[in-house]
């Protein structure tokens, strides 16, 4: 995402433009629409607080929809994905030399939980992500969806904050 906005500018964007921008943070139409509908935002903190509330309110179906737009850790997003550029930047610390180990760990996770492993990867290296993935394999499916929802919320916060300029 190249465009950065002051909060006052963000508040003035046309609804459809804003929902498209917010959809790059979380690929769930309701999330983006309700975040846009909640304008005006007094400041960035208010925007992020509302985003947190909406992320926490995602249904399991919406959460799985959002997961469909994220690549596996260690892989690139599909071209045309709403979040492709952001995912690449967030995973920049993942060493391609770990590709085989990441693929095996991702595959085992997907067999266990029937969805991709999602983690806020920004600032974390591949070894750290592999350790986190291994730890999370001990979760039961319901507990893991709670972790995934929390991680998606962290990703959304980072992406939203990246849209704003002081």
Partnered with residue 164 across adjacent β-strands are: 5
Task: Give CA angle at 8 (63, 157), nearest 5°.
Answer: 25
What's the CA gap between 166 and 119, in Å, rounded? 27
What's the CA gap between 82 and 5, in Å, rounded? 19
Residue 80 gets the label, from left (phi > 0), alpha (psi -120 to 50) or beta, of left
In 3D, which of 79, 65, 76, 77 has the Cα closest to residue 27? 65
pLDDT of residue 147: 97
pLDDT of residue 75: 60
Q: What does the pLDDT profile of the chain (166 residues) look like in tens digits?
A: 467 999 999 999 999 999 999 999 999 999 999 999 999 999 999 999 999 999 999 999 999 999 988 888 766 555 554 554 544 444 444 566 788 888 899 999 999 999 999 999 998 888 999 999 999 999 999 999 999 999 999 999 999 999 999 7
pLDDT of residue 74: 67
Task: Give CA angle at 101 (68, 67), nearest 5°.
Answer: 10
């Amino acid at each position: 995402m190249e465009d950065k906005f002051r909060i006052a500018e963000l508040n003035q964007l046309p609804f459809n433009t804003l929902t498209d921008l917010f959809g790059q943070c979380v690929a769930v139409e309701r999330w983006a629409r309700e975040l846009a509908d909640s304008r005006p935002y007094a400041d960035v903190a208010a925007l992020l607080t509302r985003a947190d509330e909406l992320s926490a309110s995602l249904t399991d179906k919406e959460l799985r929809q959002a997961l469909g737009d994220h690549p596996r850790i260690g892989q690139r997003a599909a071209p045309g994905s709403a979040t492709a550029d952001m995912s690449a930047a967030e995973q920049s610390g993942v060493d391609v030399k770990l590709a085989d180990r990441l693929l095996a760990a991702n595959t085992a996770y997907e067999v266990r939980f029937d969805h991709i492993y999602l983690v806020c990867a920004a600032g974390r290296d591949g070894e750290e992500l592999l350790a986190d993935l291994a730890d999370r394999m001990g979760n039961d499916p319901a507990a893991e969806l709670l972790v995934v929802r929390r991680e998606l919320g962290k990703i959304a916060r980072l992406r939203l904050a990246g849209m704003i300029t002081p």
